[in-house]
Structure 1
Amino acid sequence: MIILDNSKSVSSKVGVKRFNWVIHAYCLMTNHYHLLLETPDANLSAGMRQLNGVYTQLFNRAHKRVGHLFQGRYKTILVQKDSYLLEVSRYIVLNPVRAAMVDSCEEWPWSSYVFTCHYQEPPPWLAVDQLLSLFGNEWSLAIRKYQDFVLRGVGKSLWPEVKQLIYLGSDSFVSEMQS
């Protein structure tokens, strides 16, 4: 497993705040991770270099090992926030369920799901409020709606549709990004 124990310590070292990223969802898997983030400062490449390099160094030091930690270069899909933020976040937190590693999202402690549902106190770098606000202003109801939304996605996966894409959004969004 490629998990470090202290998420607050790790987040400060890998530069979440430094790069001004807004992280909506994440999931650490056995040899890769999924991250749904906004980069207001257009610094994805520098941030990913920092994230992958520093995280690998911290993990290797903690586990007395050397070498690569993640498989291959990161894949980027530019997502139209208004249309696809929820769908992509659902895809991310359902990864361990679809991989048959757990039966339900709340059983996987290495994803944003446990924080978004307030099973655990969310770290300050995770934009839980932004995601939940899409389900309403009353938090307990918004959490239940989020849980229901995620559960409805168990049988379907966004990945086959998007794995070859660079942009995920409406035709006008894709045209605008390509111009």
Structure 2
Amino acid sequence: MISRTGPNGITVDKLIELMIPLETRESVLKSLEELVFGGYVDVLGESGSVRVVASKSVRTSMVALELHKLIIVKKLQSLRSSVESKQENEAKKCIKELSEALGNAFLSLSGETPELTIPELLELIRPIRDRLGSVMGSEQTLPLDLLKELIGLVSKYKGDTEAKILENILQKEQHVRDA
């Protein structure tokens, strides 16, 4: 919230006033103290009031986040129009571009303050994943060595029974492809 107030920041009194419906005054001040010590905000005293301003790195990260959001929304709009006009090849191209945009966003935002930007990016991505998740990765196939590694990971984390089930499914799928 502080970062959205721009380079002028917000007075502590105004911040408390806005946050009171959600938190107590003491918890707002405690959170603010943690942000100051974490280097996320700077405190400025001017003419009888105290202002808090998001640090330069936080504001830069927010610019990057908002830019990636715009790019992702544009890719989603392109996908929607290609689906509505029933252009299957164009839709596949849009899905690929959307996947690349999401990957680029994660790589870019994992820089200076990922603890602030990645959770917000995940909130944007969650509905996309829920609606398009099965379509987005459907054309990718893993090489045999990675499939074996995957089965090993499933065995390690989910147990041998789950690994055997996965192995059987993958073998059946391979037989269908070969037929």
TM-score grouping bracket, smaller chain normalisation? under 0.3
Which structure would you say has the larger RCO, counting Cα contacts within 8 Å and 6 or more residues apart? 1
TM-score, normalization by structure 2: 0.25
Higher helix share: 2
TM-score, normalization by structure 1: 0.25
